[in-house]
Amino acid sequence: MDVLGPPPGELNGLMEAPPHAVYSSLEELIAQVNGFAGLRGYKLVVVRSKTNNVGQKIWAHLACDRHGVKRNTHKLTPETRKKNRRSRRCECPMHVAAIKTTSDLWEIAVKNPEHNHGPYVPPPKRKRDLVPPPPSETVNLPLLATPSACIADFCLVPIGTGSASVSAEIAEVQRLLKRSGLVFSMSSAGTTVEGPWDDVMRIIGQAHSLLHGSGVVRIQTDIRVGSRTDKKQTIEDKIAVVQALLNGQEEDYISDGEDLTFEDPTAGQLREAMSNMHTNNGNGMQLGMMTQPHTGYAAQSSNMHGLAQGFDPAMTTHLQHDPAMTTHMQQHMHNGLG
């Protein structure tokens, strides 16, 4: 199906006929003429041609591809026609002649430059063939907002201050950040700032302006910024997640569903008690276990409970109510005594 443009009378100037020119062959003429016509919304086809006595073409008639009328070759009537096939033919009168000269060159002569139709426009593609444009080409740029929150690490380096130290300039930037009301944290190699994107970028730019105003002619800043939309995350949150993983790798005991780490005071005292048993009572315990194998477990348990009571009553509670911890300590003792 063709999509027609404005009325022909308004487009004959645009759908102009090929200019007069000379070509080396009929094939070159057809290619050049259709290249010219294709840019103007029509196409020329060879309707008929004439040859000489030796079978060489000497003349050709080229017409608009919409010349002639639709043919009913099967003599169908509206009642017998199953498919309503459409034709592009509309009796367009535009045609040209290609003539071979005596010098074996071809030239074109326009016989009728007028069309009775508008330029050809390719039909739109099917929906499944259409490729949606990328969002960057369809978004309304003035209305595109920046992220509502971000965390940026930036390292501002004043250049050409005449000194290897930049602590004075960094101190000025820190004072500016404090006045901004944004959450920030300084490290030895930069500063982390948290807040809305526009506010964070503005304060970094203001830090540049502040130092330029104090005489620093050149500043180089590296910025690494991140944003996310699935959840709200602060500077402290990001550090806490990593710290929790580090603490999880240091688990020593599990009692009543609670993790005891080396940093737990009770766990540390239990470890110290075990160490003291290995050091101070190891020989006696080993002798007792060798001479009295049936009473060795009772001696170990009694000794461990006694050591626990000597340090902290809370450890006695752990040993009395958690047999697994007692067994765990016994294994440590066996390893130390062996």
Mean pLDDT by 10 residues, the chain (338 residues): 43 74 91 89 90 90 86 70 70 90 89 87 72 83 92 94 90 96 94 96 97 94 95 90 83 42 48 52 39 41 46 49 54 48
CA 107-109-115 angle, 5° bins: 135
The pLDDT score that the predictor gives to residue 289 is 37
3-class secondary-structure state, position 261: strand
Residue 28 CB partners (closer than 8 Å, separation 6+): 106
In whole angstroms, what is the distance from residue 87 CA to residue 73 CA? 13
Structural element, H or E, at residue 49: strand 44-51
- What DSSP string describes 201-212? HHHHHHHHHHHH
124 contacts 131 by C-beta, under 8 angstroms: no
Tell me if 267 sits within 8 A of 292, measured CB to CB.
no
Cα–Cα nearest to 121, from 29, 15, 13: 15
**pTM (2 decimals)?**
0.40
Q: What is the pLDDT of residue 89?
A: 81
Beta bridge partners of 260: 253
pLDDT given at position 256: 42
pLDDT (0 to 100) of residue 307:
45
Please give the pLDDT value at position 221: 96
State how far the Cα of 331 lies from the Cα of 103, in Å rounded to an integer.
112
What is the predicted pLDDT for the residue at 96? 92
Cα–Cα distance, 70 to 140 (Å, whole number): 48
Q: d(Cα 72, Cα 255) in Å, to the nearest integer? A: 94
pLDDT at 7: 46
Q: Which residues, at least 6 apart from 225, have a Cβ–Cβ distance to it below 8 Å? A: 150, 151, 152, 153, 197, 200
